Amino acid sequence: MHTVSPIPDFDDDSKVQQYMQDRRVIGYDPLVQPALLRHDITSTTKAKKTIASARYSSCPHPRRPGRPAARRRRALLHTLSRAGYRKPRTTVGWKGLINDPDIDGSFKINKGLRMARQLLCDLTDLGVPVGSELLDTISPQYIADLISWGAIGARTTESQLHRELASGVSFPIGFKNGTDGSVTVAIDAMHSASNPHAFMGVTEQGLAAIVKTRGNKDVHVILRGGTKGPNFASEHVRKAAEDIEKKGMTNSDGGAPFASIMVDCSRKPPNPPGFFGEYD
């Protein structure tokens, strides 16, 4: 049987104060300043070129194709390494390298941030651009300069906080469709993130601030399936493109409408053989 806490004596000023603030907070540990960490762990010139070319042009180091189909796709494929330093959990569990680098519940987040940044620097210096899912508005200050592409997960695509964050990052962002397979929430997120926002965040010095953004036009939908099954077939892609066009999603400079669509090929059930054949 669940035990209900007794009602405190609110005539006692000291007990009232205990219920006003930090009732369930154990403590606060200092967090390293983003600018300090970025100063300590810097990226090389080669790494910067890797990151920039992956954001704005074709893959900097394409492998030699082995068959005609690969030759046709080489100009279209853009290869990045997925780096998941924060892991969203349905309930509880290990939240990733940044949150608990020693995997022992010690939560040495400063150590995790340092390890994550160093690894990103090493990867990009090797010529490997990196993509990552964004889970909060603070950690990007530590690693966003090393990321070439970002994603907002299915459970957070509807989050106003994540749409605001996406409006200010310097790289392309993909919004995954909802867990039920609905693309509408992702299209709404694209529209939101492409517009200017003002929200609470932190500066490179780690100070609380009002962040003002221009809006991010480099946004797209990620088809990742849902509870009703996969949605990567050509008809699903066509329908998503039509829905985007119906929304009147056009760039403010009068350019082409947002028609970028990505398919998450890692989702279950496994993709059938010849999946890419539909799009040759």
Give the tens place of pLDDT for each residue, 34-57: 999 999 999 999 999 999 999 985
Residues 94 and 73 in one domain: yes
Distance CA 263, CA 224 (A): 6
* Region 51-79 average pLDDT: 60
- Tell which of 147, 177, 193 closes a domain: 147
12 domain-assigned? no
- Is the alpha carbon torsion for 34, 35, 37, 38 positive or negative? positive
pTM recorded for the entire structure: 0.82
Residues 211 and 102 in one domain: no
* Region 115-136 average pLDDT: 95
- Tell which of 121, 147, 173 closes a domain: 147
For residue 207, give its domain range. 152-280
11 domain-assigned? no
Q: Domains in the chain: how many in total? A: 2
The set of residues, in sequence order, having a beta carbon less than 8 Å from that of 252 and lying 6+ positions away, is 215, 217
Which DSSP string corresponds to 252-269? Answer: TTS--B---EEE-TTSSS
| Choice among 2-11, 203-212, 223-232 with the minimum mean pLDDT | 2-11
71: Cα separation from own chain's centroid: 30
72 domain-assigned? yes
- Tell which of 122, 147, 172 closes a domain: 147
Residues 180 and 137 in one domain: no
24 domain-assigned? no
pLDDT band at 63 (very low <50, low <70, confident <90, very high): very low
9 domain-assigned? no
* Region 129-134 average pLDDT: 94
